Amino acid sequence: MTVTGGRRLSREERREQLVTLGLRLLETVPFRSLSIDDVAARAGISRSLLFHYFPTKRDYLGAVVCAAVDHVLDVTAVPEGTSAADGTRAIVTALVRFIQRRRDNYVAIIRSGRSVDPALEEVVDAMHHTLSLRVLESIGVPDPGPTALMLTRSWLAGVEEAALLAEKSGLRQEIVIESSLVALRSVSGIPRPPATP
């Protein structure tokens, strides 16, 4: 199907449509099993036309992962004028809610997708790096050293895991958010190691 509402899709609209289809399919299909033929069929186009928009399957999967990462960063952006404490809470709340609302998609793309290709690993790694910097800035550490960044990245991995395990554990969303904030205070309170001579 090359038209929508009686008009042809532009190149960008078609690319967006194909990426959105990939995101939806990954809610039920393992990342490694995502079929280009299936995506093309659902879009009503040929496989060769899909490759006109994305030269290789790797390019297509990369676009899907980038779109998922961009969405995570958009929903966890701190609103302008938010206080530091409220900013930290806003980031954690948005991340936990997103993971729990889009659990299958998050696991399929952010967890599984990163293991498929080193380039995809870099995209997801950059997302975690950006989230960690946002959190550190919100707690008053705008220029973190390697230790603070490492500890925050570890804490962030714990938040993701807690959000994913909460339902199985019977924990309410509010408990996951509050526990994550308490854990962050502990991590951010760890003194910097002394400088080596």
**Each residue of 80-132: pLDDT tens digit?**
888 877 999 999 999 999 999 988 878 877 776 666 677 788 888 999 999 99
Measured CA to CA, the distance from residue 107 to residue 31 in angstroms comes to 10
How confident is the model over 19-40, as pLDDT tens digits?
Answer: 999 988 887 887 778 899 999 9
**Residue 87 CA from chain centroid, whole number:** 19
Q: Does the global pTM surpass 0.85?
A: no
Residues 176 and 140 sit within 8 Å (Cβ to Cβ): no
Measured CA to CA, the distance from residue 108 to residue 31 in angstroms comes to 6
Determine what percent of the chain is predicted with pLDDT higher than 90.
Answer: 54
Q: Check residue 50 and report its DSSP letter.
A: H
Q: Is the pLDDT of residue 3 over 80?
A: no
What's the rounded mean pLDDT across residues 130-136? 94
In this prediction, residue 114 carries a pLDDT of 64
Measured CA to CA, the distance from residue 67 to residue 72 in angstroms comes to 9
How confident is the model over 159-173, as pLDDT tens digits?
Answer: 999 999 998 888 999
What's the rounded mean pLDDT across residues 178-197? 76
Residues whose CB is less than 8 angstroms from the CB of residue 160 and which lie 6 or more positions away in sequence, other chains included: 95, 99
